Amino acid sequence: MNKTVLITGASSGIGLNFSHKFAQSGHDVILVARSEGKLRTLSEEIETKYAVKTYVFTADLSKPEASKELYESIKEKGIQVDILINNAGFGLFGEFEETELSKELDMIQVNITALTELCKYFGKEMVNRKEGRILNIASTAAFQPGPLMAVYYATKAYVLSLSEALANEWAPHGVRVAALCPGATETGFSDAAELQSSKLFQSGVMNVEDVVEEGYKQMMTNNKTVIVPGVKNRMLTKSIRFLPRKMVTNIVRKVQERV
């Protein structure tokens, strides 16, 4: 039986690839992003290629009322969301005293507030139905502080913590919640975050298709709660536990610095 999957940030990067992956697997998809033009093009492509239904909703999740309006619009159409992929998010590089506060507040709104609202709205319905899945896109950044991207790292720590807590709360109700924690990945993220010249992205990135494939498999088949794609990334997140916190923070600083 086809499920309906809501994907935020569906027009590019990980969200775009998840849109194709779920459609290829026979699921209908709700495509959400800011650019209606990109979403319409993607909608036509998916329906033609995979013979599934698509629904297009434009939303700027940095706006305080956007998540509620999105939820209400989907409800008005009578669409049931079976799987929620909270992918929308962005980062910002720079010394905290120099970065733009307005961009950081928008980041908190998208990465934390909108994600939390959508988990609340759709998760409550899933709990009542005793069925559903939520995948929140976190990051390997969630496992340690991040000098030069302090707010971004902090937002992803929140996403990981929330996801693990909800996974525990909602498991008895038949709702699976997971956090996907990719490391540096070949998407438009590094451009938006002004990270192109950082040592982190210069040292090698994962292919976005591989990240999505791993996330899909671990979420849909293995019911894993914390998903870290790539052997290198898994070794990194595990080794951090055994190092002094101050040392980890200093290492992250060096990796983040521009070449």
Q: Considering 3, 21, 121, 156, which one is annotated as catalytic? A: 156
Q: Can you tell me the distance from the alpha carbon of 143 to that of 210, in angstroms, rounded to the nearest whole number?
A: 21
pLDDT in tens, 6-19: 999 999 999 999 99
Strands (E), the chain: 4-8, 28-33, 54-58, 83-86, 132-137, 175-180, 226-227
- Cα-Cα-Cα-Cα dihedral of 213, 112, 156, 118, to 10°? -20
Q: What is the DSSP letter of 206?
A: B
Backbone angles phi, psi at 54, to 5 degrees: -130, 150
- Check pLDDT > 80 for residue 235: yes
Q: What is the pLDDT of residue 237?
A: 87
For residue 107, give the H/E element and its range: helix 101-108
User: Which domains occur in the chain, in start order?
Assistant: 4-256 (3.40.50.720)
- Check pLDDT > 70 for residue 195: no
CA atoms within 13 A on the CB side of 64: 1
Nearest by Cα to 83 from 250, 223, 217, 220? 220
Mean pLDDT estimate for the chain: 93
The two tokens of residue 32 are 């959400």
Per-residue confidence at 242, pLDDT binned at 50, 70, 90? confident
Tokens 């909108």 label which residue? Answer: 114
pLDDT in tens, 75-92: 999 999 999 999 999 999
Per-residue confidence at 199, pLDDT binned at 50, 70, 90? low
Catalytic residue check, 156: yes
Compute CA distances 70 → 126, 131, 136, 149, whole Å: 17, 21, 17, 29
Q: What is the DSSP letter of 256?
A: H
Q: What is the pLDDT of residue 193?
A: 47
In this structure, the number of other CB atoms found within 10 A of the CB of residue 251 comes to 15
Higher pLDDT, 257 or 176: 176
This prediction has a pTM of: 0.91
- Residue 249 near residue 150, CB atoms below 8 Å: no
- Check pLDDT > 80 for residue 191: no
Range 22-33 average pLDDT: 98
Q: Considering 71, 121, 152, 153, which one is annotated as catalytic? A: 152
Catalytic residue check, 152: yes
Nearest by Cα to 108 from 161, 164, 153, 147? 153
Q: Can you tell me the distance from the alpha carbon of 96 to that of 86, in angstroms, rounded to the nearest whole number?
A: 26
Highest mean pLDDT among 56-70, 218-232, 240-254: 56-70
- Picking from 1-5, 61-65, 151-155, 171-175, which range would have the lowest pLDDT averaged per residue? 1-5
